Amino acid sequence: MQEVSLHYRIPGFFFSPLLYLSVMKRNPVQILLFQLITACFTLTSFAQQGYYPDSNWIRQPAAKLGMNQQLLDSAVALAKRSEIELDTDLRIAAYKSYQREPGYQILGPMKDRGKPAGLIIRKGYIVASWGDIERVDMTFSVTKSYLSTIAGLAVDQGLIRSTRDKLNNYVWDGSFDSPHNSKITWEHLLNQSSDWSGELFGQQDWADRPPREGTIDDWKNRKLNEPGTFFKYNDIRVNLLAYALLQVWRKPLPQVLKEKIQDPIGASTTWRWYGYSNSWVTMDGLQVQSVSGGALRKLDTAGTCTIACQ
C-alpha cells in the first residue's frame, strides 16, 4: 500500500489519527473513513521526485498523485457529516466527561471547539481539505506524542541512558522511592504500565478515571500491579512523565519542543503548551512550569494540562 496521511490541521501541527486507530477504542466512522481513503489509490505506480513542503503547502489534483477523486470526495463528505457529539463549549464537555472524578475542576485556559475541519495529504501535497483549517483549536492528548518524542530525544542525547533505567536514578524528590514505585522504569511510564501510586501537584493517581465499581476508599486502597504487567490510561502518570523529563532536560519542555522539533521543521511560532496553576517547580534556581500530555482538569485538588495553538 502506498503512503497516505489523514490529518487534522492546527497551525504548526499535523495530527494523524492513524496511530489513534491502533491504540484507542475503534470508532466505526474513523475506520470507515480510513478505509475510504486507502481505497482511493489506483494500482498504477508512478515516478515522483521527493518533495518536502515548507511553510507553504502546495495543492495537487488527486488524480495526479494516483488517487481516485470520487472515493476521495466520499471520504471528505463522510468527515463533514460525522461531527463529534460533544458540546461546543469545551468547559461543559469536560465537566460532563469527568463528572465521576472527585473534586473535578478546570485549571487552565479553554476555548470553544470548531466545526469539522481537516486535510488529506499525499506525498507531501494537499489533495483535499474541508472546514476552517486555519482555526485555533486545542489538541488535548496529542501532547502525549510530544512527550514521547522529547523522551526519545533525551535518549539520543544521552540524558537518559536507557528507557529500562529506573526513574529513582533520575528523579530524587521521593516520587519513586517507595518499594512499589522504585521498580518503575522510563519504559513503564512511556507505555502506561507503571501503576505508579502517589500524589503529583495535589492530584492522586487513583482519582483519574476511577473504576465504575467501588467507593473512594476502595480506589485508594486498591491492590497495586507489578510495573510492566498492567496497562492503565492515566493522565496523572503522564504528567509524572513530563515532570521526570523536566528533571533530565533542566529546562521547560515547550522550549525543548521548539528548539528540537518545531523550528527545524519550519513550524509556526504561535503554538502554546500550557501547564496549570500549581505545576510550577524550582529548576536550578528558576521557576519552571511542568507541562503534561492530557486534558486540563483538576482531580481531587489539582489537574493536568494541554497544548493550545494560536
Q: What is the pLDDT of residues 43-64, one digit of tens each?
A: 334 444 678 887 788 999 999 9
103 within some domain: no
Q: What is the pLDDT of residues 262-277, one digit of tens each?
A: 999 888 888 888 888 8
Q: Sorting pLDDT into bands at 50, 70 and 90, what band is 9?
A: very low
For 291, the domain range is: 142-309
Whether the pLDDT of residue 135 is over 50: the answer is yes
Whether the pLDDT of residue 11 is over 70: the answer is no
Residues 184-197 have a mean pLDDT of 97
Residue 189 and residue 121 in one domain: no
Residue 151 and residue 227 in one domain: yes
107 within some domain: no
DSSP strand pairing (271-274 vs 297-299): unpaired
| CATH number of domain containing 268 | 3.40.710.10
Q: Sorting pLDDT into bands at 50, 70 and 90, what band is 89?
A: confident
pLDDT value at position 245?
A: 98
Residue 121 and residue 215 in one domain: no
Whether the pLDDT of residue 307 is over 60: the answer is no
Residue 18 and residue 34 in contact, taking contact as beta carbons nearer than 8 Å: yes
Say if residue 118 is exposed, middle or buried (CB neighbours under 10 Å; 0-12, 13-18, 19+): buried
21 within some domain: yes
Residue 175 and residue 40 in one domain: no
Write down the residue that cell numbers 510492566 correspond to: 228
* SS3 assignment, position 130: strand
Residue 175 and residue 225 in one domain: yes
Residue 232 and residue 119 in one domain: no
167 within some domain: yes
Mean pLDDT of the chain: 81
Distances (CA, A) of 116 to 28, 38, 127: 17, 20, 17
99 within some domain: no
Residues 238-252 have a mean pLDDT of 96
Residue 295 and residue 306 in contact, taking contact as beta carbons nearer than 8 Å: yes
Q: Whole-prediction pTM value?
A: 0.75
Residue 126 and residue 39 in one domain: yes
Residue 39 and residue 76 in one domain: yes
C-alpha span between 302 and 296 (Å, rounded):
10
Write down the residue that cell numbers 519542543 correspond to: 257
C-alpha span between 69 and 75 (Å, rounded):
10
91 within some domain: no
Residue 272 and residue 235 in one domain: yes
211 within some domain: yes
Q: How wide is the angle at C-alpha 91 spanned by C-alphas 212 and 294, nearest 5°?
A: 65
Whether the pLDDT of residue 36 is over 70: the answer is no
Total domains in the fold of the chain? 2
Task: Please report, to the nearest 10 degrees, the dihedral formed by the alpha carbons of residues 241, 296, 136, 273 taken in order.
Answer: -40
Which of 20, 23, 40, 21 has the alpha carbon at shortest distance from 31? 21
Whether the pLDDT of residue 128 is over 90: the answer is yes
Residue 147 and residue 247 in one domain: yes
DSSP codes of every residue in 220-234: HTPPPPPTTS-----
Residue 42 and residue 171 in one domain: no
- Most confident option among 10-19, 67-76, 110-119, 216-225: 67-76
- 182 vs 99, residue with greater confidence: 182
Residue 67 and residue 167 in one domain: no
19 within some domain: yes
C-alpha span between 214 and 280 (Å, rounded):
33
Residue 236 and residue 219 in contact, taking contact as beta carbons nearer than 8 Å: no
Residue 292 and residue 143 in contact, taking contact as beta carbons nearer than 8 Å: yes
